[in-house]
Every structure is written in structure tokens, then in C-alpha cells.
Structure 1
């Protein structure tokens, strides 16, 4: 997710632009243009539902999917903002609230966790995801413009909080390789996606993050990895989703009829439909479809969602 931005920063890879590709995959509009800033879309394989967030209004949206359309089921308002939603093993949801985590139990009981952001008041939690061990990784975003002070945090089910990355401009998408041995992370305002080794133990803070030398069409935002280990990255400002190999080779694109593409996830029983979120936020003159959700068939399959290993009925901060 981005606040209002100026010019696109230079691409640190030094590449002149994306290579010429076959015609991009088309996408089709699946909802009305009703979202100011939709994000974090995922597939709940147990309930057969699609879940995403409307960040600025602090809402979790849940819909059915019949293979062609999204049928809204319910809206859960948690406010004031919600940066990301994750599935939990016990059937509830884990949320990245404004300044800390929150849980929604299977009975929709909301419980807020402690403030994780300390003395800084001009910051909030942004995009996040669960790792293969059931811990939650979530980053921060400055509300006043890039600072270089943003962090990527990892929170364990017992409430332990670790800082796994510092010095960021705007922490955004986080994703894992199919074997869980590599984590990928987006720093949007630095136009950067980087990788790092990963496992069940402590992350090696002395090991450098490795930039992926890719030519992005816009500003990289949300990200997901497919079963082949390739990265799908939303391109904010470009009306595109791009698919890259881990070394940064662009192999496919999806055209989206809205410039601010924020995130995507594979949905459906076969996880073979790409669902894409967009935003009106930051647009002086939104296009007619800006803020809608889109669907695309792209010949790829997504990985199952990792689930939060903690309780959403009795989370660590209330036990």
C-alpha cells in the first residue's frame, strides 16, 4: 500500500525497462469500484471463501467464489485501519491493526494486542503474512512520507516480537519460496524486492538481503509466490501484475483496468484463479474501474496459505 507519491523512483537494477513479452493476460472486473484501498487478498481453503482487507476503513471482507464471480458474504469492521489479514489454525483471523495485532475468533470476537510501535506516532502496520512455522511477519509504513526508519517485524504465537529488518522506506509484500527456505520482501519506495535465507530458527541479521534485478513496470507492492517458485508482484501506478523468476526475469504480465494495483492471491479450490485488488487512494482522477477487484486465468497455481499457529480465542496477550 502507498500513500500519495510523487515521481516513480529510479530502478536500482539499472535495467532500461521490461523486455517485450507476448500479449498480457487479460483480467475481468469482479466487483464494483467500491474500495478506497483494497489489499491482502487470500483463499480460505477450509471455508471456501475469499478474504481481503479495506485498509483505510479498517474492514475485513469475506466473499464466496463460484469459479467466475465473487459473492459478498460479510464485512467485519475492526478499524481504524487494518493492513493485512491472515488465516489462523483455529479458524479465526489474525489482523495487522493500526499499531498492533488483533484477532477475530471463529465467533467474530475481536481482541486487540499491545502497541508494537513504541514512541513513534506517525506510523502504522502495513502488509504482512504468516511464515511456514506459523509466525506473523508484518512491516511498518510512515504516515508522513519516507523515513528510512521502517521495520519488518516477526511475531510468534507466544507474543515474542523480533525485528528482522530495519532501514526500510515502506515495508510491503512478504512471501516465501515453496520450500520455505527463502523469504522475499518488498520495499516499495526503494523500488526494491530482495531475498534472504529463512528457516525455523533466528534470522541471521548479518546476512545481507539480496536484490532481485528486475525491471518493474510501476512501484512494487503486494507479492505472492506460485507453486513453481515464481513471484507475482503488483505494480502500483502501472495497471499491471508482473511475474518474475527468482533471478528477476520477467516472464508474464496481467493487464488490469485500474492503475493502482495493490495485491493479488490465488483463489478457488484449485488455487488457479488470480484475484487482484486495486485502489482509488492516491488518484486525483480515478478511472471507472479503480477500486474494483479483478480475476484472471494465468496458467499458474498458488501455494496454500500458511496459518497463524496462535489462538484467536485466547491470544497470548490475554492469557
Structure 2
């Protein structure tokens, strides 16, 4: 693969997040959403008007899914909550696990309307986390003993899931039942990134099945073919890029969150855009996230 393609995008939001994560886009309202997990914040940005709101949360939220025009699902360290979009009112739906030392991390809705959501130790304790399948409120553990679960996304037909343990740095694939989002096979390594710069973090899968991955610690978004071949690398102006999302009325733009977590004052001085939210500045063939079936 050639050298990184220089950043030609823009800063979409200059409010910095300690741990920017979990971005998504609601095409019905033209609104992008993302979290500052450690800051207990939910960011809301209306793209056309640039109207910005930051909502305080009573927990560490990390994943948002649209249920319908009036409700959202939020995954947090205290469980899964239904959020009324207009008022912010929260109602507990279910919990993922009974591990007070854990918090939620990455997740995404499968085309069937089921949710994959993950947990990890609050200080990234080894093998403390897991990935779960949540369908109509029923929770099923899929994979355990994961340190930093990330990169959860699905092929356009719902027949394949991708995920990683960033601590191991293997991009994994597993066959699914497209009707349920449940695995029908055993996970296999799609790309072994051991020893390469940075860690595999959040990912999205586009309309052509390409996997767009934010590379934590490497100031980049990388693109993989479904066979694991890495075909391009785009530079971003923050070292800890964390997760992408397709945005815009045609899902043809890419938002990327980042973080300043773990950076001391000197490191933040050398990384002045750490924690900001970016638009990559290229045309992509994205697709909108499915709604969660409550």
C-alpha cells in the first residue's frame, strides 16, 4: 500500500472529547450524533444548519441507535436505555451483564434490527469484556474474554460481521444468519495487524462491502476489501482517531471522531486537534444504519 493520502477534509466540530466514540447519523433529521464516553456527553450536530447541542448524560454512553422518529437506544455502562429524542428522558430497557467494573464500548445495529454491543474493563483490564447480541430486548453473549472490543460492523447483506480486540489487533470476520444477526460459524482472522502502527478501532462497512477503519494512535482511516486486503489509507490531523460514520443525505460523507484520552499536556500540545471531530473530505459510497427493532 502507498503512502497515506493527505488530509483534505475539515474540522466538523472543534469541541474536544476526551474519548470521542460511537458516531452515527439519522437521515430523517439530518443529524449526526456521537459520544464523549469519559466526559459523559452526547453530541448532536445538525449538518445543514451547523446547530450544535451537547447533552449531559448520567452514565458512560458509547452507542446510539435510532428506534423511530421519537426514540433512540443508548448503550451505556449502566445498561441499555430508551431515550426520548425531544426531551432526553431515559428509560432502562435491559442490562448487558452484571460486572460493575465494566463499561460499554463499541456496537452497531445489524440489518435485521438486532444490536451487537460490547463491554470492556474501565481501565482496559485484560479479557474483562465481551460482545453481545440484543434482539427485542433479549441479550445473548457471543464472544467473551475480550480486552478492547471494537470494529463491529456488518456486510451490506448482513451475512458477515467484522470485529476486533484492539489489544490483539486482529481484524476478525464471522458468518451470520442474515435474518437474525446471530453467528453461524467460528470467527476467523481477516487481517493480522500485529506489529503495525496503531490499533484497529471503530469501523463501518460501505455499500460495496469495503471496511473503513479508524486507526487509533496512527492518525488515519484505513480501508479494507472484504478479503482483508488493505487498499488505502487516509491521514487525519489527530493521532487517536477512534470511529467513522457515514453522514449526509446520500451517506456519501465520512465523519471521524477522535480522543485526547491519555495524552499529557506536552502530548496535547503536539496534537492540538486531539479530541475534535472531522469530515474526511472525500466522496464515499456509504449506507445508513438500520433502526433498532424494539
TM-score normalized with structure 1 length? 0.84
- Of 26, 29, 34, which aligns to 1:52? 34
Q: Equivalents in 2 of 1:237, 1:252: separation in Å? A: 17
Partner of 1:248: 228
What is the CA–CA distance in structure 2 between the aligned matches of 1:154 and 1:299, rounded to whole Å?
32
Q: Hey, what does 1:281 align to over in structure 2?
A: 261
Q: Which residue of 1 aligns with 2:43?
A: 61
Change (3 A) 1:22 1:39: closer
What is the match of residue 274 of structure 2?
Answer: 290
Q: What's the counterpart of residue 316 of structure 1?
A: none
Answer yes or no: is the 8 Å Cα contact 2:60–2:76 preserved in 1.
Answer: yes
Query: Aligned to 1:84, which of 63, 69, 82?
Result: 63
Moved over 4 A (4+): none
Alignment partner, residue 10 of structure 1: none
The structure with the largest strand share of the pair is 2
Q: Secondary structure at the match of 2:130?
A: strand
**Cα distance in 1, alignment partners of residues 182 and 115 from structure 2:** 14
Could you say which residue in structure 2 is the equivalent of 1:99? 78
How many aligned residue pairs are there?
Answer: 286
Distance in 2 of aligned mates of 1:192 and 1:79 = 33
Match of 2:9 in 1: 27
Paired with 2:72 and 2:239, the residues of 1 have a C-alpha distance of 29
Separation (CA, whole Å) in 2 of partners of 1:64 and 1:202 = 31
Structure with larger RCO (C-alpha < 8 A, sep 6+) = 1
- Taking the aligned partners of 1:144 and 1:63, their CA distance within structure 2 comes to 29
Selected match of 1:132 from 91, 111, 120 = 111
Unaligned runs of 5+ in 2: none
In the TM superposition, 1:103-114 aligns within 5 A as: 103-108=82-87, 109-114=89-94
SS in 2 for 1:190: coil
Cα RMSD (Å) of the superposition?
1.9
- CA drift at 1:204: 4.4
- Structure 2 counterparts to residues 208-287 of structure 1, below 5 A: 208-215=186-193, 217-284=197-264, 285-286=267-268, 287=271
Q: Is the 8 A contact 2:199 2:215 kept in 1?
A: yes
Q: In the aligned structure 2, how far is the partner of 1:273 from the partner of 1:149? A: 35
1:178 counterpart = 2:156: yes
Calculate the TM-score normalised by the size of structure 2. Answer: 0.91
What is the CA deviation profile of residues 91-133 of structure 1, one whole-angstrom value per residue up to 9, with x for unaligned ones?
A: 3211011131011123332112344321x32111111111111
Question: Matches of 2:260 and 2:4 in 1, distance apart?
Answer: 29
Q: Which residue does the alignment assign to 1:16?
A: none
Residues of 2 paired with 1:154 and 1:55: CA distance?
21
